[in-house]
Chains A and B, each alone.
Chain A
């Protein structure tokens, strides 16, 4: 098979301009994108730098963007991204500075992982043998430890694009792994730590991490689990909790979202609520105030929505 590859290049030792180089290489039929890159770097252009090791989607070295989307190139078949022999574009991961070509600086990424206290902290005397834990608990956790910390989710996270301080999907998925481990004795402190600013409540559910995760870990699902755990643990004094409660309440009572109230409810302190005044003024000036004005009306048929809520709440209680 002929593979046409356009590769993002950057050489800090050379002229330091970001540009693309184009290569065409011959590969076996079932070749992966990584095979193309290895062929280029071994046989065509030895100046190309790529991180890779296991070739079987387990070490997490080879995350980068193919045609704009983060993935592990070692398990991305050429035939999937270029079914008709099209040229593909390979770039380094996003949300991280580039060191050279396809190699990015991962220090911030690792520091965020380190910040979640990523080791188990049992309390009390250790049992003589193993901790007795139901297999289903372990099976649930095994889903999270499938994460190989490749960084693909962080690369394509839309929150990190605007707020680099966000803990990010990889660290938060790992955080869940510890918070939910029945052997850990510090669940409450953990949930408090992960609830802080830049933590679990800053995810906007954009689904990017679920889509790009090459291991099917779906980090966002674990972030949502963390939120449930935090609320269940009584950690309700957070804008995020108020936000979701207000949202649910408004939809339940009126059939749709009361945006003005949602904003007001989300902030806990009066001084924070006051900060919304200029936002409100700007909303009016830009003509973005809802047609109903500041007054929120019940939608026709809202009682059906209310019934759905009551039905579900009944099931959960």
Chain B
């Protein structure tokens, strides 16, 4: 079938939902397409909170500066200023939409401390902030009667005559392919955590949107910037929120020392994540860990606080590590968590390409974790991601709606689905082979986690590049056991793997390209930050022989790079 909307959003996480609401307010016909039901999106996983300088003693400049410093000066400061300036009104709007934020004694919004922030400016709902926000986003989408195509999987963007005109998607329930015509497409499809094993990310975080945009020529930016979170569980990579440290939890090594005093004497456990993860890994490598972990100690916080404000992580520690946070310290280690890089876009979500990425791709927008508007630069501060979803979700929804009003529907027919249909039929018809999707995915995840993690070097990265290329080759030979149409999750995993392989190739090549240490990228062979040569973004463009890399100036408004200490 052919479906038609003015604005089509791929992804129903908080970014996609917020964009949809704004576009709808503008009066255009908007729809959201998503591979899982909206409230199943990964935004759910956010535990800790969302930042804004609402407090009287706080200022947007302070929030912006902390973000710039956190980014290791790689964030684009024009976008960061917008983020910090617009945060307070967006948080108030979320409250008006129904979010049940925790309050202070006077019944006003209450805050907690978070890493890398000079002021307690993180607003929160217990430790289920993402879930609370996502459910409210969904509620508002129902209020605004925004149709959602649930369990539809986007397989390609329709790019014709120099503009994006929609996408093709599989309806998972029937296995049918459909054409979605749109005057503007907003990609809000989340991160790519599953290219790493383990990861804090959900199984659906497979970088689909990044791969789709990359294949029509849009560059992926700063993809080497992969955040390892300091407190993940060794068993399955699940995350214990930074909010725990925000509430006062300690990190200790095998000698029982609060080792962060050595690495970040002022901020201690609340230094930015790249710093804390590196410190932990250094302790572990120096033999002061316990079974490859350090300990997160919450005991002194008391049962009441743990059960009210940290209930979910108390459950996670119990379920996955058999630890009662009230009475025992919990083993944790750095784990892959977030990608700062993504589809290069500006502060209206417009995807950019061409000479110095100076031109917009007509009809294409990207927001949320899949995008790189470059708020986070080399390292994201906790609780800035949820914020980015609402600020740039809103801005892109507005911009895309206004753009769509000036456009006519293109002449795209059902036949456009044939390209994707042929590819999928060929995949299904291939004979069974020894390489299964799950096996390749696991090899990819292990490789990335081994060589593209907290500490990197040229030899390791080259090994990873070679391995990813090998896996891409082997992918061409896989065969699927499941040939059915209805809910063929085998087929979807294969398509997701193909997407992750493309994105992983860009991540490793970008890490190899950046010959310095900045933010999440720490090269043991280039251990210093090198502003003279590398105060630059990396851009990766698709070519037949793999990614072509290029550098792009960072936008600096107020804050010149300085040495970064916590």
Shortest distance between the CB of A264 and any CB in chain B (Å) = 42
- CB of B107 closer than 8 Å to a CB of A: yes
Q: A46-B437, A134-B107, A145-B132 are in contact. Are A120 and B316 (CB under 8 A)?
A: no
| Chain A, residue nearest B204 (CB) | A53
Asked if B98 contacts A135 (CB within 8 A), the reply is: no
| Chain B, residue nearest A136 (CB) | B103
Interface-located stretch among B89-97, B363-371, B404-412, B520-528: B89-97
| Chain A, residue nearest B125 (CB) | A142
- CB of A148 closer than 8 Å to a CB of B: yes
- CB of B470 closer than 8 Å to a CB of A: no
Interface-located stretch among B136-144, B275-283, B386-394, B529-537: B136-144
Residues of A near B238 (CB, < 8 A) are 55-56
Shortest distance between the CB of B490 and any CB in chain A (Å) = 4
Residues of B near A262 (CB, < 8 A) are none
Interface-located stretch among A58-66, A225-233, A265-273, A304-312: A58-66
Could you mark each residue 122-156 of chain B with 1 if its beta carbon is under 8 Å from any beta carbon of chain A, else 0?
Answer: 00011010011001000110110000000000000
- From B41, B109, B319, B486, contact of A75 by CB (8 A): B319
Asked if B490 contacts A47 (CB within 8 A), the reply is: yes
Could you mark each residue 102-139 of chain A with 1 if its beta carbon is under 8 Å from any beta carbon of chain B, else 0?
Answer: 01001000100010001110100010011111110011
Residues of A near B44 (CB, < 8 A) are 54, 58-59, 148
Interface-located stretch among A9-17, A81-89, A161-169, A234-242: A9-17
Asked if A41 contacts B39 (CB within 8 A), the reply is: no
- CB of B265 closer than 8 Å to a CB of A: no
- CB of B163 closer than 8 Å to a CB of A: no
Within 8 A of A (CB), among B444-488: 480-482, 484-488
Q: How far is the CA of A126 from the CA of B89 in the complex (A)?
A: 13
Asked if B202 contacts A43 (CB within 8 A), the reply is: no
Residues of B near A59 (CB, < 8 A) are 36, 39-42, 44-45, 202
Asked if B40 contacts A99 (CB within 8 A), the reply is: no
- CB of A1 closer than 8 Å to a CB of B: no
Shortest distance between the CB of B54 and any CB in chain A (Å) = 8
- CB of A50 closer than 8 Å to a CB of B: yes
Asked if A12 contacts B109 (CB within 8 A), the reply is: no
Asked if B437 contacts A42 (CB within 8 A), the reply is: yes
Asked if B319 contacts A43 (CB within 8 A), the reply is: no
Q: How far is the CA of A239 from the CA of B106 in the complex (A)?
A: 42
Residues of B near A75 (CB, < 8 A) are 315, 319
- From B100, B131, B236, B308, contact of A55 by CB (8 A): B236
Asked if B312 contacts A133 (CB within 8 A), the reply is: no
24 A-B pairs in the complex with CB atoms less than 8 angstroms apart: A12-B486, A13-B484, A41-B438, A41-B489, A42-B493, A43-B438, A46-B438, A47-B481, A49-B486, A53-B203, A53-B204, A54-B42, A55-B236, A59-B40, A59-B42, A100-B484, A103-B487, A120-B139, A126-B96, A134-B107, A139-B308, A142-B102, A142-B126, A145-B131
11 other A-B residue contacts (CB within 8 Å) besides A47-B484, A54-B45, A58-B312 = A30-B320, A46-B490, A54-B203, A55-B236, A118-B139, A119-B140, A119-B143, A132-B107, A135-B110, A138-B103, A146-B128
Which A residues lie at the B interface, using CB under 8 A?
A: 11-14, 28, 30, 32, 41-43, 45-47, 49-61, 75, 77, 99-101, 103, 106, 110, 114, 118-120, 122, 126, 129-135, 138-139, 141-142, 145-146, 148-149, 181, 183
The 8 closest A-B pairs by CB, nearest first: A42-B438, A120-B98, A46-B481, A135-B103, A13-B484, A119-B139, A46-B490, A119-B143
